[in-house]
A and B are shown apart, each in its own frame.
Chain A
Amino acid sequence: AQSVTQPDIHITVSEGASLELRCNYSYGATPYLFWYVQSPGQGLQLLLKYFSGDTLVQGIKGFEAEFKRSQSSFNLRKPSVHWSDAAEYFCACIYSWGKLQFGAGTQVVVTP
């Protein structure tokens, strides 16, 4: 069965520091992978997606993610975090009929 794992429930990072959020997936075929961000009380916003091609994907708000098939990973990175990046981040993988399997989410706290 397909699954998406985000090992870190909570991450605290200083403003200006780099951020990396981990995501591992388990899926038999070539995965379609996504990262979403959710600000408090809001819906989910798509940060970036990977379907095929270049394994380094650029997204909005200065985020990027790298697909590594050998490690079944799709980690999200940002070189320099801003206070507005404090939010919950979800990794997701498409499976049948366009349904998404979500990870449990990683809460990011940004300190001054």
Chain B
Amino acid sequence: DVKVTQSSRYLVKRTGEKVFLECVQDMDHENMFWYRQDPGLGLRLIYFSYDVKMKEKGDIPEGYSVSREKKERFSLILESASTNQTSMYLCASSFSRQEQYFGPGTRLTVT
């Protein structure tokens, strides 16, 4: 079974802190994705990566950056966390144009 893990299930940070969310997949997938999920807004793509060191902006990249130094790991970085970044963050991975497999999510609260 494909396994996508995220470093934390719950995280509480203060405004202005730098926040790292990590995602690891064990299926050698080339594509990895970061989404945020908010009530009434569904899932919105923040960034994705189709190869090591490659990244593309999604629909809502402002305030975020990403890093992919190894194929299995994709990090989402909030350079200076703000309260409007309180959300559920979901990581996913996929092979080519196949289905995406999701991690359990990280619920981030910024106070």
Contact = CB atoms under 8 A, between A and B. Distances in A.
Interface of A: 32, 34, 36, 41-46, 49, 90, 94, 97-100, 102-105
Q: Which 4 A-B pairs have the closest CB atoms?
A: A43-B102, A44-B102, A43-B104, A104-B42
B100 A100 contact: yes
Contacts, number: 49
A43 B42 contact: no
B64 interface: no
A42 B100 contact: no
B17 interface: no
B94 A98 contact: yes
Given A98-B98, A100-B100, A102-B42, A42 B105 contact: yes
B31 to A, nearest CB: 5
A42 B90 CA distance: 9
Main secondary structure on B side of the interface with A: strand
Given A94-B97, A97-B31, A45 B102 contact: yes
B109 to A, nearest CB: 14
Interface of B: 4, 31, 33, 40, 42-43, 45, 48, 50, 56, 58, 90, 92, 94, 96-105, 107
A55 to B, nearest CB: 18
Contacts of A44: 43, 90, 92, 102
A98 B90 contact: no
A97 B50 contact: yes
Contact of A42 (B42, B48, B104): B104
